[in-house]
Amino acid sequence: MPETALHANSKVINAELSFEDFKKIVINDYRIGFESRQASLIGRREVLTGKAKFGIFGDGKEVAQMAMAKAFKKGDWRAGYYRDQTFMFATGMSNLLEFFAQLYAYPDVEKDPASAGRQMNCHYATRFVNPDGSWVNQAETMNCSADISTTGGHMPRLLGLAYASKLYRQNKELEYLNTFSVNGNEVAFGSIGNGSTSEGLFFEAFNAAGVLQVPMAISVWDDAYAISVPAKLQTTKEDISEILKGFQREADTNGYEIFKVRGWDYVALCETYERAITICRNEHVPVLIHVTEMTQPQGHSTSGSHERYKTKERLAWEDEHDCLLQMRKWMIASAIATEPEMDDLEANAKKYVRDCQRQVWNELCDGIRSELNDAARLIDKVAEHSAVQGELNDLVSELRECIDPGRRDVVAAIRKTLRLTVKENNLQKQQLINWLNEESVKNAARYNSKLFSRSQYSPQNVEHVPARYYEDSKFIDGREVLNACFEANFDRDKTIVAFGEDVGSIGDVNQGFAGLQGKFGDLRITDTGIREATIIGQGIGLAMRGLKPIAEIQYLDYLLYSINVLSDDLATLSYRTYGGQKAPLIVRTRGHRLEGIWHSGSPLGLILNSMRGLHICVPRDMTQAAGMYNVLLRGDEPALMIECLNGYRLKERLPANVGEFTVPLGKAEVLKYGTDITVISYGSTLRIVMEAAKELEKLGINIEVIDPQTLYPFDIDNVCGTSLKKTSKLLIVDEDLPGAASAYILQRVLEAQKGYYSLDAQPRTLCSKEHRPPYGSDGDYFSKPSFDDIIEAVYALMNESDPHKYPSIY
């Protein structure tokens, strides 16, 4: 039985090859491409017959991807999109069994190593994290960062993967990390459809790579359409390489080497990729390979037919210029194989692909059918002792007659059984419940686990080290506390790097990195252009390759420009790879309480709803932030750090162990103990709450103030719920919009911590107005929670409880 994988560095044009060796290579290439095409054809049929939910395939792109695979070596990286199945087969990073396992959403990491059934088909990933959380030897493996469905969303990450090679080559302090890189020789291969080059993420990443001069190789698969939209409506001049000619490097300039080649020309493709990747690898010059005249024989996906929008002339042209057909003709004309030999090869390939498909489908069905039979037997036993035996018998019959059952059919039948017998209680029913509970644990692991690494290296396993102070410890600006923390960590760990707008030469706009570029060099503390999305992508790629990046977004408001990269890529990474990949990136930004529409943001509701998978840190001051950095820089999970914009020049006491003390994530802190009302707040509003607490004491009100410190995870020790048992009243003070972060906190405290049962008054939230704050101090006062607002909100709760003791203010 033939193997699908092929060593990627096999050469087609090599003077030392005999003609017989040359023939074997070409024939093997064609076999891989033909098998891939058959997988696409069978995959589509499996979707249309209902066995799979959705299908998207790489047919029409086979020959170009085989050529690209020849240039791909151990240590290299891929960040591509969902047309690259032939490339994955040719490099050996995937195979047909895994292809069909993913198509059927097989929830087993051994069957689908890319995602354990969590991603739709043709979304690839290799596992570069061991089960214990340690890194694999990336220098000895071929590496594929996990795909996402947003067609240009991987481009920022591609930039970061390539940038890592530059750092590994140029920063000699990193030479000891030889399991991640060999002198920065690794190329980051990216692929994208011609339509998706219209996206901003493509242009942003393309420009950044040209500036940085990193070994990034972008292949554009150009089949003249983006679903139904033709190139004339997508791209100026209908030609992406034509309009990017200005990026072509010239003497004494940075830039790209740009290549153009037809997608059905096997020899030209092999020669082009060998030449382009040699330049990219050796010189660290980014390259663009524009592969034109491609086809997409089955259309975009199983959701529709391309015959609806392509003309008869275009369809006829695509039939004639199908890359495999053209390669077949060339092979026969060049005496590489005879027509009967090609017929025989294709027949064997069809059989092999079909056998792989059947093997995977049968294995998946056998496992589910076994669970179904167990459940049916248990329901039968319940029926024997039930007053609703007839209904249960019908239910079991329907279950056993399922043609292609899923686990949901099994679990749904059990849950219905329990509803039908809700007033009955016997041993048989308890056995059914026990079985369901055991399966629920398994299904939680299959479908709901691995949002975070939760490995031995998790930041939540970092030892708690309290801050220590000398008797004469100085009170300094908060920014100086951060600066000392960063300096200590950069001294301690050579893998830490920081970058962002104005981070380098001036040390960021608030001076947290002041003077550190001069000490540690511009490879470790680096300025970037104004390009938020690729700043995040730059960090993701570095973090995947063993470095500890701090990516700075200058203001929290500007996080919106990178939200898709944070949400679609970074936040989902551990989950969508079933813990097989990680990117311990720290995103540093600042927000809250400054004035003006564009510099006063606190959009925590947006962040909490779109970034599950990141730790969300909201320190009230820079000492707290330093302690959190000390934790995150020793952990292996990503985080967003939101510093208080108006706190950099407030005085704080410098800890003696500024680079070592830790603030545990998820540990709420009681800042002031009280008996009357529990007040929960975070960030800059905490200072106002603490000031208001003094005024409230004069009114005879003693509030308890709690700082959750991180919103995700939130108060894992139930400090808030415990406080509510004592006070029975709750106020949440939050700078976000009404119903945003405050609603999240309410859900955590009232539902998850069961605080609802401790209330004797309606819980209240005090948030900003519905709009962003206008410029000026008055705008802030009338838009965000103020000192007076907090006092009156607390007093109103007390008035509601005891109007005689606390008469209405108004």
* Beta strands 710-712; 615-617: pairing state: antiparallel
- Give the Cα separation of 573 and 583 in Å (integer): 8
Q: What is the pTM of this model?
A: 0.96
pLDDT score of 6? 36
Q: Do residues 556 and 643 make contact, with C-beta atoms less than 8 angstroms apart?
A: no
Helix crossing, 339-384 with 19-48: angle to 10°? 40
Sign of CA dihedral 342, 348, 354, 356: negative
Q: Please name the residue ranges forming H helices in 232-311.
A: 240-243, 266-283
* SS3 (DSSP) at 613: coil
Q: Which residues pair with 731 in a beta bridge?
A: 679, 764
Residue 209 one-letter amino acid:
A
C-beta separation of 502 from 513 below 8 A: no
pLDDT of res. 302: 84
For residue 571, report the phi and psi dihedrals to the nearest 5 degrees.
Answer: -65, -30
In which region does residue 113 sit, left (phi positive, over 0), alpha (psi from -120 to 50) or beta (all else)? alpha
With cut-offs at 50, 70 and 90, classify the pLDDT of residue 1: very low
Mean pLDDT of 489-501: 98
- Asked if residue 212 has pLDDT above 80, the reply is yes
Banded model confidence at residue 357, pLDDT cuts 50, 70, 90? very high
Q: Decide if 255 contacts 248 (C-beta within 8 A).
A: yes
Q: pLDDT tens digits for 217-254?
A: 999 999 999 999 999 999 999 999 999 999 999 998 99
What are the backbone dihedrals phi and psi of residue 166, each rounded to the nearest 5 degrees, phi first? -60, -45
Main-chain phi, psi angles of 670, to 5 degrees: -85, 110
pLDDT recorded at residue 605: 96
Q: Give the tens place of pLDDT for each residue, 257-314.
A: 999 999 999 999 999 999 999 999 999 999 999 999 999 999 888 888 898 899 999 9
pLDDT at residue 597 above 90?
A: no
Sign of the four-CA dihedral 456, 459, 465, 470 = positive
Is residue 498 within 8 Å of residue 672, measured between CB atoms?
Answer: no
Separation CA 195–CA 200 (nearest Å): 12
Residue 559: what pLDDT?
95
Q: What is the pLDDT of residue 290?
A: 98
Helix (H, G, I), strand (E, B) or coil at 190: strand
pLDDT level of residue 10 (50, 70, 90 thresholds): very low
- pLDDT, residue 511, reads 94
Are the beta carbons of 216 and 190 closer than 8 angstroms?
Answer: yes
Count of other CB atoms within 10 angstroms of residue 807: 9
Rounded CA-CA distance 70/273 in Å is 8
Between these two residues, 779 and 623, which has the higher pLDDT value? 623
Q: How far apart are CA 209 and CA 284, in angstroms?
A: 10
pLDDT of residue 16: 75
Cα 297 to Cα 38, 304, 327, 523, 761, distances in angstroms: 12, 12, 16, 46, 65
Contact 121, 53 (CB under 8 A): no
Per-residue pLDDT at 13 = 53
Residues comprising the chain, all counted:
810
Q: How far is CA 208 from the centre of its chain?
A: 21
Q: How do residues 439-468 score in pLDDT, each as one tens digit?
A: 999 999 999 999 999 899 999 999 999 999
The mean per-residue pLDDT over the stretch 743-751 comes to: 98
pLDDT of 318: 94
Do the Cβ atoms of 684 and 644 come closer than 8 Å? yes
- Per-residue pLDDT at 317: 94
- Please name every residue paired with 192 in a beta bridge, in sequence order, or none if there are none: 220
pLDDT of residue 8: 38
Q: What's residue 305's pLDDT?
A: 87
Q: Which of 154, 128, 131, 160 is nearest to 141 (CA)?
A: 128
pLDDT range class, residue 593, cuts 50, 70, 90: confident
Neighbouring C-beta atoms of residue 200, cutoff 10 Å: 13
For position 274, what pLDDT does the model report?
98
pLDDT of residue 15: 55
DSSP assignment string, 536-556: HHHHHHHHHTT-EEEEE-SSG
Q: CB-based burial of residue 405 (10 Å sphere; 0-12 exposed, 13-18 middle, 19+ buried)?
A: middle
The predicted pLDDT at position 14 comes to 56
Res. 32: pLDDT tops 60 = yes
Burial class (CB in 10 A: 0-12, 13-18, 19+), 250: exposed
Give the pLDDT of residue 217: 98
Model confidence band, residue 5 (pLDDT cutoffs 50, 70, 90):
very low
Q: Please give the span between the terminal C-alpha atoms of the chain, in angstroms, as a whole number.
A: 86
- Angle value at C-alpha 770, between 769 and 771, nearest 5 degrees: 90
Q: What is the pLDDT of residues 678-711, one digit of tens each?
A: 999 999 999 999 999 999 999 999 999 999 999 9
Residue-by-residue DSSP string for 672-706: E--SSEEEE--TTHHHHHHHHHHHHHHTT--EEEE
Judge whether residue 11 has pLDDT over 60: no
Amino acid at 156: P
Alpha-carbon distances of 463 from 451, 452, 466, 707, 756, rounded to whole Å? 22, 18, 10, 21, 33
pLDDT one-digit tens code per residue, 56-94: 999 999 999 999 999 999 999 999 999 999 999 999 999
> Has residue 635 got a pLDDT over 90?
yes
Place of tokens 């890189």: 181
Q: Please, what is the average pLDDT of the chain?
A: 95
pLDDT over threshold 90, residue 373: yes
- Cα–Cα distance between 575 and 798 in angstroms, integer? 45
